[in-house]
Amino acid sequence: MKTCFLVTFLLAAAVCTHSLEEVKDSNGNPVKVGAKYFIQPVKTDSNNGGGLVPAATNILPFCPLGITQTILPYQPGLPVSFGYHPNILGRYNVDTSSDINIEFRSEIWPVCNEFSKLWAVDPSSTSKEPAVIIGGDPKSPNSAFKIEKATGSHT
């Protein structure tokens, strides 16, 4: 399993007009479709947590799980992989500004097995920034994310 960390990247569901560029891991290598990675959110004065993990966002029903950051700064979270739907022949690397799916790739998964491990924006969320949950469908626009190059103080 790859243990490279993605240090800086932003997930966005909005359409952007940036040109395509290969997404790089923290070692400067291109992020490969299907390979396992740990997502590490940008560290700031107000955010010093660890990686991303599934967690209950409701008491009942418990599932689907939401996706949240661990509070422990050195916990890497669970591995994820990136993929295109439909599978695009000849695309082995993840590019910025392109629709990708993100899926947890952990063998440890004790609950909510009736849901896919694919990420999705929660369509029922009423918050300003909707929650991201598991249970996505690769064909759904709610399961399509974009990675954009960070600018300013987050680079």
Q: What pLDDT is stored for residue 62 in this prediction?
A: 86
pLDDT digits (tens, 9 = 90+) for 23-42: 999 999 999 999 999 998 87
| E-only strand ranges, the chain | 5-6, 10-12, 38-39, 52-55, 66-69, 80-83, 101-104, 119-121, 132-134, 146-148
Average pLDDT, the chain: 83
DSSP SS3 for 143: helix
Q: pTM of the entire structure? A: 0.81
Across the range 116-132, mean pLDDT stands at 88
Structure tokens at 51: 């990686």
Whether the CA torsion 29, 30, 35, 40 is positive or negative: it is: positive
Q: What pLDDT is stored for residue 107 in this prediction?
A: 87
pLDDT band at 12 (very low <50, low <70, confident <90, very high): very low
Across the range 109-127, mean pLDDT stands at 89
Across the range 5-23, mean pLDDT stands at 50
Nearest-CA neighbor of 144 among 129, 132, 126?
Answer: 132
